[in-house]
């Protein structure tokens, strides 16, 4: 089947390249001509394991065409909308204008019977409004909603072997066409659920907000463990062993970041507020507040350790919000770096794939390696659980730092190995790190 994808960011490019590998022919339409050039050159704007090879293969064998010309969508039967839905402003909901513009651009290429499929994250009611727009501009086409559940770092695998496929559709014909799109995946036994547009929209938001809630919950419990002498990590492990709860996202640390969980949790809070469900709005706002507080806690502790030192320096290992991605959107590492600099500390930050400054703060110093970041450091913070940092040699690094003090905010290092080498090692929720 010939399929078009409108928007070739993190979602759209993965979707097109992965499904092209299953036998479909895709045309990707991206209005950013520089992004189109980079895709053709093989210099992708994102780090996603396995994606570059898929894109290269699809471009070479002709199953993927990438262009900035909207008319290239003509002749496709299914058209995926994969543009971004950023926040209008903090805590003010989603900006649907990119979807509206994408649909407006696509409309002249639509033919009777074509299916437009939204994959972007939106609050309930967005698809209904887009359906009305579609019927005005191309009355013989139909709109469906097919939310994605990809995790950065495993997005290719999640696309090719999803846990479930959700179709928000208004007709049996739309479901049948989606079945054709996903036939190779459905043939492996993947569950497929048919529902309405609003449910398909809400389940995506609810999924991300629930994962954010689990992270904020376990961080709250870990803070309580630090005040009572309980072991925060073992408490989390014991909670995760309960099959009613599950271990996923129960990892005490700096909290969540990225382009989905923070935005979607705040977006759901705003949607609840607009709907008049104030208890829900307050609940999700508190989940977000707990997440933000994680960075403040560690900032206060590190600042206290550096008090009285001359020109104190902090090394931060990891800039991306998690390992296996270069995404620094709402990264806890970057937020922590800015907070420490605002407290008067010099910060050097290293990351295996992020090599440029994030944001407008020119004080943030990026260096190539962990060793460079740690040179003359008074405190070293492991802020992203990259395997590279688990392989560091603590004995060799003793001569690099000014003070052998390391804080493992992701609980990814071997504490005994670092302590035996002569380091003062702390996990994020060690009782000794409690300030109040």
Residue 423 token pair = 């380091």
Catalytic residue among 260, 306, 358, 412: 260
Which residues fall in the annotated binding site for substrate?
A: 149-152, 204, 257, 322
Distance between CA atoms of 286 and 391, rounded to whole angstroms? 36
Give the side-chain half-sphere CA count within 13 A for 81: 31
Contact 32, 68 (CB under 8 A): yes
Q: Name the binding residues.
A: 35, 85, 121, 149-152, 204, 257, 263, 322, 329
For residue 18, give both structure tokens.
């992965």
Show binding-site residues for NAD(+): 35, 85, 121, 152, 263, 329
Catalytic, 358? Answer: no
CA dihedral 178→119→35→48, nearest 10 degrees, is -90
Look up residue 301 and give its two tokens: 């502790």
- Helical pair 261-274 and 278-306, crossing angle rounded to 10 deg: 140
Which amino acids are annotated catalytic?
A: 260
């Amino acid at each position: 089947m010939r399929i078009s994808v409108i928007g070739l960011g993190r979602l759209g490019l993965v979707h097109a390249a992965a499904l092209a590998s299953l036998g479909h022919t895709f045309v990707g339409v991206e209005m950013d001509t520089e992004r189109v050039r980079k895709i053709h050159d093989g210099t992708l704007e994102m780090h996603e394991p396995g994606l570059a090879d898929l894109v290269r293969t699809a471009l070479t064998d002709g199953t993927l065409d990438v262009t900035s010309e909207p008319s290239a969508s003509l002749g496709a039967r299914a058209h995926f909308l994969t543009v971004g839905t950023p926040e209008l402003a903090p805590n003010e909901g989603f900006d649907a204008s990119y979807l509206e513009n994408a649909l407006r651009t696509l409309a002249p290429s639509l033919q009777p019977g074509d299916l437009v499929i939204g994959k972007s994250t939106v609050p309930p009611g967005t698809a209904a409004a887009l359906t009305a727009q579609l019927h005005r501009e191309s009355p013989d086409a139909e709109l469906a909603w097919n939310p994605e559940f990809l995790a950065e770092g495993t997005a290719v695998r999640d696309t090719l072997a999803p846990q479930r496929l959700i179709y928000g559709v208004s007709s049996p014909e739309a479901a049948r066409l989606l079945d054709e799109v996903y036939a190779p995946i459905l043939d492996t036994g993947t569950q497929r659920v048919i529902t309405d547009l609003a449910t398909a929209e809400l389940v995506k938001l609810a999924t991300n907000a629930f994962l954010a809630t689990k992270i904020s919950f376990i961080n709250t419990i870990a803070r309580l463990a630090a005040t009572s002498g309980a072991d925060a990590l073992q408490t989390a492990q014991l909670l995760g062993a309960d099959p009613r709860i599950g271990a996923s996202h129960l990892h005490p640390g700096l909290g969540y970041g990225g382009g989905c969980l923070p935005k979607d949790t705040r977006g759901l809070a705003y949607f609840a507020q607009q709907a008049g469900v104030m208890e829900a709005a307050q609940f999700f706002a508190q989940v977000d507040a707990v997440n933000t507080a994680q960075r403040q806690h560690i900032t206060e502790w590190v600042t206290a350790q550096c008090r009285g030192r001359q020109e104190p320096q902090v090394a931060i290992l990891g800039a991306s919000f998690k390992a296996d991605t270069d995404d620094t959107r709402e990264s806890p590492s970057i937020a922590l770096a800015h907070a420490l600099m605002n407290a008067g500390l010099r910060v050097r930050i290293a990351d295996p794939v992020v090599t440029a400054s994030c944001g407008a703060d020119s004080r943030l110093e990026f260096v190539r390696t962990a060793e460079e970041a740690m040179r003359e450091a008074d405190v070293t913070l492991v802020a992203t659980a990259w395997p590279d940092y688990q392989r560091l040699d603590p004995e060799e690094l003793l001569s690099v730092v000014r003070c052998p003090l390391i804080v493992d905010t992701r609980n990814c290092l071997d504490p005994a190995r670092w302590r035996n080498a002569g380091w003062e090692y702390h996990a994020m929720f060690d009782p000794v790190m409690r300030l109040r």
